[in-house]
Structure 1
């Protein structure tokens, strides 16, 4: 089943923007087809199954220090992110699953994602083993050194960071909007909202929490006048398909002809699948939990987010910046694969390490040094978990394709 054929099916099924009452079946089918594109896409969309299989494997994992973890630490959830002043760094970009938990879970999830990317690039198994070694090397380097220092990235990832740094609002408008016009194009990705949804979106966006969010970015005037220009339901993501997701355009008028357009992403926040530490104290509201995790793990993103209520549900709101991008690792050479593994693991190490006291980081480093064989410079629990989960995901992916992607011509 070729990816082009799957993309054509997605386009055919959603070329006409559906009415609000028609969304459910289309979103379900779209999610299933997106997960069938490749084994790596299936990894991205199967977070719940990841933790089910990890628990069923019975493997003994170390009890890492309880810190905020991503909970869904795969390649696509990392990339360049701009802070409130436009400065860009590579950080974790999706925190839906964040909890205070065991940092070992992020390492295993990242290892599985990298192993899947290696298979997608037709790399031999020995390179996957070296990538897992690179994960440990990069992660330990972040904990052992100045984890707040600016990381150097290999050319493949550095190129994405360089591209992100050069992007402007015109790039974002060209990708998401009808050119420079302040309107959201209704069609394949953006769908019309109901009158009730529009009313609630306008009430939310003109309220104090969103005012504080949008005027806190780009040095906008706190007294600016805010006006809702356009809104649409956004068919976006993979694991989040089926939840509330809206795109909103706001005009921020600071007076004296100083007008700015901001693009908001509103996404429903749901219960995390990632296991939390039994003694952890976290916000009960899921949106507040996600914002707290983002502030700890990815400050560039966390300071651009707000927790709100919409249509009776908990939602997270963030302003999109032109510099926000995701990392895609395809067609990797062996050297690129190993360098990328080290680099991305260092990003995770930075996110975990900044939450730990020096003594805690040292103790965690000592634990990571245990259980290594002479053949693989990585803990045995990490390697065995990645191997077992790779096998489980491969079988589940093929079954998923059989169930959801064979009837495309029907």
Structure 2
């Protein structure tokens, strides 16, 4: 038996207390939010068995679940729908990726108002779609013209978004000058010392860019985003961009920490120069076209990922499935296929499986039913751990 409260507190030690308190409170909301906030615990509790360890090694995102897919603008100026979180990325057996996705479907069923039978049907849909995409051996992608259903709805909604409206949601405009909204929901204030340090860092970064004036800092705040990474050192930076007030850009600066998957498996990892290099490089390998502004940088003698925050970033509104299961099936098929395409696309790199090995695996079906059974065990474990966590939280175990 492990002490859930102690394990979670130990993993999160050293994080920003104000944002960490938000994370701890949010994780009480449901088992699904708890799952999103405890990737480390999922892999610590994942049963070790040949089904997983004998699967072909691939580059995984590491934190696969229903909420870690979304839209973004790539460096070719097109908008794609793809996996968008690579903080935990590493080289691992491909079924590590799939078992977490299936578990998220089962654990998230209550939040989505799905019956047990419907959730299990979605799991079968996911494994069949993943296997078929691998067997085909061709990496594809999802953009507006190749999307359908709820993913197409997402793209249609993005069409009317403007940079000015995006900025209006996150900033306050006085005359022609914008400042970040420090509202306790998306952002918190930053100390004068840290503001000066980030401004100096951006000056140094800009010196190596073709348009240094683009990166002139207008404002800085601590960013509130996600669940699992709440409390990690992270900032939102408002820069001049293409001109004030409506040409300003928002940039995210986030510390890159070690993958919480790696300690719980036997697959050897390459030697990365930094954790940020690992995150950025695997993201570039796995996505069809990588995000427009994405860099591994060093700040404050630590490793960070620097990236743009775009008007075109959003997630599918899964709760809008309107009781029509085929609508959710379409999204889950896209997620499963995107995972397979990422594994094919990044194959053959630093000991990841080549396409022939992945095609052979996709043509097998003997892993599918056992994987769903394993996911049901994982979902039951998540539910039990969430209950233990909530009891500890109510006792005050995470106060102060």
User: How would you bin the TM-score normalised by the shorter chain?
Assistant: 0.7 to 0.9
The count of aligned residue pairs is 370
Greater mean alpha carbon deviation, residues 393-402 or residues 263-272:
393-402
Q: Distance in 1 between matches of 2:329 and 2:341?
A: 19
Gap change, CA 1:379 and 1:111, over 3 Å in 2:
same
Q: Distance in 2 between matches of 1:165 and 1:140?
A: 33
Q: Distance in 1 between matches of 2:289 and 2:217?
A: 25
Per-residue deviation, 1:116: 2.2
Q: Distance in 1 between matches of 2:20 and 2:368?
A: 38
CA-based RMSD of the aligned residues comes to: 2.9
Q: Distance in 2 between matches of 1:51 and 1:302?
A: 28
Per-residue deviation, 1:33: 1.1
Q: Report the counterpart of residue 190 of structure 2 in structure 1.
A: 193
Cα pair 1:81 1:301 within 8 Å, conserved: no
Per-residue deviation, 1:167: 2.0
DSSP 3-state at the match of 1:118: coil
Q: Distance in 2 between matches of 1:303 and 1:138?
A: 29
Gap change, CA 1:78 and 1:264, over 3 Å in 2:
same
Per-residue deviation, 1:307: 1.2
Q: Distance in 2 between matches of 1:174 and 1:85?
A: 26
Q: Report the counterpart of residue 335 of structure 1 in structure 2.
A: 326
Q: Paired residue for 2:279, among 278, 290, 311?
A: 290
Q: Paired residue for 1:137, among 109, 113, 128?
A: 128
DSSP 3-state at the match of 1:207: helix
DSSP 3-state at the match of 2:110: helix
Per-residue deviation, 1:320: 1.1
Cα pair 1:74 1:109 within 8 Å, conserved: yes
Q: Report the counterpart of residue 240 of structure 1 in structure 2.
A: 229
Gap change, CA 1:121 and 1:193, over 3 Å in 2:
closer
What per-residue deviation string (whole Å, max 9, x for no partner) do you get for residues 348-372 of structure 1?
Answer: 1121111236x93343243344453
Q: Distance in 2 between matches of 1:204 and 1:223?
A: 12
Per-residue deviation, 1:253: 5.7
Cα pair 1:70 1:97 within 8 Å, conserved: yes
Q: Report the counterpart of residue 250 of structure 2 in structure 1.
A: 263
Q: Distance in 2 between matches of 1:116 and 1:384?
A: 14
DSSP 3-state at the match of 1:75: coil
Runs of at least 5 residues in structure 1 that lack an aligned partner in the other structure: 1-22, 216-220, 373-377
Gap change, CA 1:360 and 1:265, over 3 Å in 2:
same
What per-residue deviation string (whole Å, max 9, x for no partner) do you get for residues 209-243 of structure 1?
Answer: x565xx6xxxxx64656411111111222111121
Q: Distance in 1 between matches of 2:207 and 2:225?
A: 25
DSSP 3-state at the match of 2:29: coil
DSSP 3-state at the match of 2:248: strand
Q: Report the counterpart of residue 378 of structure 2 in structure 1.
A: 389
Per-residue deviation, 1:188: 1.0
Q: Report the counterpart of residue 155 of structure 2 in structure 1.
A: 161
Gap change, CA 1:302 and 1:285, over 3 Å in 2:
farther
What per-residue deviation string (whole Å, max 9, x for no partner) do you get for residues 109-162 of structure 1?
Answer: 111112223232332222222211211222234331532255744412221122
What per-residue deviation string (whole Å, max 9, x for no partner) do you get for residues 296-328 of structure 1?
Answer: 112544552111122232111101111011234
Correspondence 1:205 to 2:194: no
Q: Report the counterpart of residue 49 of structure 1 in structure 2.
A: 41
Q: Distance in 1 between matches of 2:365 and 2:341?
A: 23
What per-residue deviation string (whole Å, max 9, x for no partner) do you get for residues 77-97 of structure 1?
Answer: 111111124311111111100
Q: Report the counterpart of residue 309 of structure 2 in structure 1.
A: 320
What per-residue deviation string (whole Å, max 9, x for no partner) do you get for residues 227-278 of structure 1?
Answer: 1111111122211112111110111368xx9993111001111010113763
Greater mean alpha carbon deviation, residues 172-181 or residues 128-137:
172-181
Q: Distance in 1 between matches of 2:177 and 2:288?
A: 31
Gap change, CA 1:183 and 1:300, over 3 Å in 2:
farther
Q: Distance in 1 between matches of 2:214 and 2:364?
A: 58
Per-residue deviation, 1:389: 0.5
Per-residue deviation, 1:201: 0.4
Q: Distance in 1 between matches of 2:327 and 2:207?
A: 43
Q: Paired residue for 1:26, among 2, 18, 37?
A: 18
